[in-house]
Amino acid sequence: MKIDIVQLEIVKKYSADFDIENAHVYGVASAGRIFQKEIGSCNIEYAGLLCLDFTNKIINYSNVAIGNIENVNIPVAQIIKTALVSNASKIIVAHNHPSGVLEITANDISTTKSIGNLARMLGIQLIDSLIVTNSDDILSIREHINDFD
């Protein structure tokens, strides 16, 4: 019997320029700018992932899910798989609200907790989960969850 030998790897699709001072992310504002550029003005919901090393240096960015005008099903397993293959110590996730309304839903909270719990079990820190729009507004779900950690 033959068994397929496989390996997981990250494939770079392209490089994008971002208006950030350095390659490190410190706080919601710097991470939010990246997500706003990538998914903020989309007319359907997207979910994105920013992978960081232990010094908060950006390793990579990935769009992990495409939804519809009302929601996006965020694939927790895909987020964790991407973080592991990227050798990330920390992650920040975000999704956009095409409506421009910055409101946290019960699903946003439960998904954020699921990502955080699974990431923690595997030694990865979920720094925050953000909601972005096409304006400059960024909402940190972390700031609205009492038991985030």
What predicted TM-score, i.e. pTM, was given to this entire model?
Answer: 0.89
Q: Model confidence over 12-71: pLDDT tens digits?
A: 887 777 766 678 888 888 899 899 999 999 999 999 999 999 999 999 999 999 999 999
Is 72 a residue whose pLDDT tops 80? yes
Q: Model confidence over 115-148: pLDDT tens digits?
A: 999 999 999 999 999 999 988 889 999 988 876 6
Task: Find where tokens 């050798």 sit.
Answer: 87
**Domains defined for the chain, CATH in brackets:** 28-68+85-133 (3.40.140.10)
127-142: b (≥16 Cβ within 10 Å) or e: bbbbbbbbeeebbbbb
- What does the alpha-carbon distance between residue 57 and residue 116 come to, in Å, rounded to a whole number? 20
